Amino acid sequence: MQTVDYILFVLFGVLVVGIGLWIGYRRRSQDAHGFFLAGNSLPWWAVGGALIASNISAEQFIGMTSAGYTVGMAVASYELMASASLVFIAFLLIPFFLKHQIYTMPQFLALRYNHHVKTGLAFYWVLLFVGVNISSVLYLGSLAIEKMGISKEGAIIFLILYSSATSILGGLTAVVWTEVIQLLILVLGGLAAAYFSTTNIQNGFWSSLSFLSQNYASHFDLILSPDHPRYNEFPGWGMVLGGIWIANLYYWGMNQYIIQRALGAKNLYEAQKGILFAAWVKLFMPILVVLPGIAMFHHEPNLINPDDAYPILMERFLPVGIKGLAFAALTAAVGSSISAMVNSASTIFTLDIYKVLFRPHAEQQELVKIGKIASAVALFSGAILAPSISFFGQAFLYIQKYTGFLSPAVVVLFLFGMLWKKATAFAANVVVLIAIPFSFILDYLFPEIPFIHQMGISFLCLSAVMVSLSLLKNKYQEDPKALNLPFSSLPLSLIVQAVAIGCVLTILYGFLS
């Protein structure tokens, strides 16, 4: 990078860290509700912007560009089907959570089942956030920052310091407002990477895009055929109708570090508007994170490690000034995601483990203090584990696969808990206990089955366990802890948006399948 790139990079970092520290100082005496849920003060645009900013990370910029390099548009189903899932979440899950004042996902499990289910999954979630999410995002971010001449270890330390400015001191308020600020730079940096990596293939962006679609037609298939060499990772229509729904419903609707932004909204309508705003943005994400990978396949078809595609793109194809902007965007993506994960890991640990098991009568300020300590421990533990991610191949697939060991069980517990009044705590406890061992056994015995299908199989088997064990007790009556779904009329504007999103998805799959 040139001097101007470093200046832009540093100025942006100082701006974000400065705002995070300022908010942390202003809210230094906030109570636990303010620290973990922003005092339910977030407008729709902050909710939607924070949802996208916490989602867009090195997993997308580096991981999905890597998958775009190797397989093409098939990986975009993760983004496009997320848009469809967000509509479902806005209309069903969020009204349910807000009506019953659910602020953490384990809290729902205690309300609907019992504290054993809640505590078991709380431990799983904290381990997942640290061992898979935080560590992998730190690793992917360090790959790119390493191109600036900083060692991988130094890059991880830099990301820790950058993320801790918001995640540890200011709580959810600081995390969300810095995420909103970072969203603009994320989109601008992503568009710049897509444009400059593509436009110089031919004379202009659109002619280059036409060249790529004609010469690498298989990279523009959203639905892979069974004879495709990467079908096992992106199994055709299974990326639309199968286990992809389990992955997206879990990630967007039952995953604390994502849904926490909507739970901090001013009211239900603001939360729903924010979620649908995020659904619209997801429709355009393949342009930012998949198209650059396809362009890099043209420029560098023989990369040994596909995870290097995005860092090489920034290094070789971005002009002076834009390169600094793109590095700032990547750092913002990593920082916002890590801040979100750390804040949510500390929320679950503090409210669902520490307060329940150790200090049921803890004062508000004690909970905030423990939350800050838990944030620091989660962040540094993830940093220690980060270098080991390189042993698992493509990091994006590592994240999806091992998150998928837990997500089917979570979706079973939540959907049956909300929609079926006969579901029992005993059945839920059994589902929690067998979920991860069952996924490991399934993967070990049938490695040839795509992990997306493994998630679907796991969901069906765990659903059968939930139904059969629940009926042993509640064959003729409802469970005493059953909850009612909230039914209310939806604003016309939200219905129109949902229909429009469905139409766009239908056109895209019809055109690119």
Look at residue 42 and give its three-state secondary structure: strand
Low-confidence winner among 9-18, 309-318, 436-445 (lowest mean pLDDT): 9-18
What pLDDT sits at residue 466? 95
Confidence band, pLDDT 50/70/90 cuts, at residue 390: low
What is the pTM assigned to this prediction? 0.79
The C-alpha torsion from 347 through 102 and 252 to 368, rounded to 10°, is -10
The per-residue pLDDT for range 208-262, each reduced to its tens digit, is: 999 998 998 888 988 888 888 888 778 878 888 878 889 889 888 888 777 877 8
What pLDDT sits at residue 350? 85
In the predicted structure, residue 29 carries a pLDDT above the cut 60? no
Which whole number is the average pLDDT over 4-8?
82
In the predicted structure, residue 168 carries a pLDDT above the cut 70? no
Taking a C-beta distance cutoff of 8 angstroms, is the pair 14, 240 a contact?
no
Look at residue 201 and give its three-state secondary structure: coil
In the predicted structure, residue 55 carries a pLDDT above the cut 70? yes
Alpha-carbon radius of gyration of the chain = 22
The per-residue pLDDT for range 471-496, each reduced to its tens digit, is: 998 888 888 888 887 776 778 888 99
Rounded to whole angstroms, the Cα distance separating 486 from 483 reads 9
Look at residue 264 and give its three-state secondary structure: coil
Structure tokens belonging to residue 253? 């609707």
Any idea where the domains of the chain sit in the sequence? 18-178+194-316+333-390
Structure tokens belonging to residue 295? 């362009």
Q: Which of 290, 310, 282 is nearest to 222 (CA)?
A: 290
Confidence band, pLDDT 50/70/90 cuts, at residue 56: confident
Give residue for tokens 């939806």: 490
The per-residue pLDDT for range 491-502, each reduced to its tens digit, is: 888 899 999 999
Structure tokens belonging to residue 211? 């060249």
Rounded to whole angstroms, the Cα distance separating 498 from 492 reads 10
In the predicted structure, residue 28 carries a pLDDT above the cut 60? no
In the predicted structure, residue 392 carries a pLDDT above the cut 70? no
Give the bridge partners for 42, in sequence order: 265
Q: Which helix (H) or strand (E) holds 390?
A: none
The answer to whether domain 18-178+194-316+333-390 has CATH 2.40.170.20 is: no
What are the two backbone dihedrals, phi and then psi, of residue 346, each rounded to the nearest 5 degrees?
Answer: -70, -35
Look at residue 265 and give its three-state secondary structure: strand
Which whole number is the average pLDDT over 250-276?
84
How many residues belong to the chain? Answer: 513
- Mean pLDDT, all residues of the chain: 82
Confidence band, pLDDT 50/70/90 cuts, at residue 58: low
How many CB atoms sit inside 10 A of residue 215's CB?
10
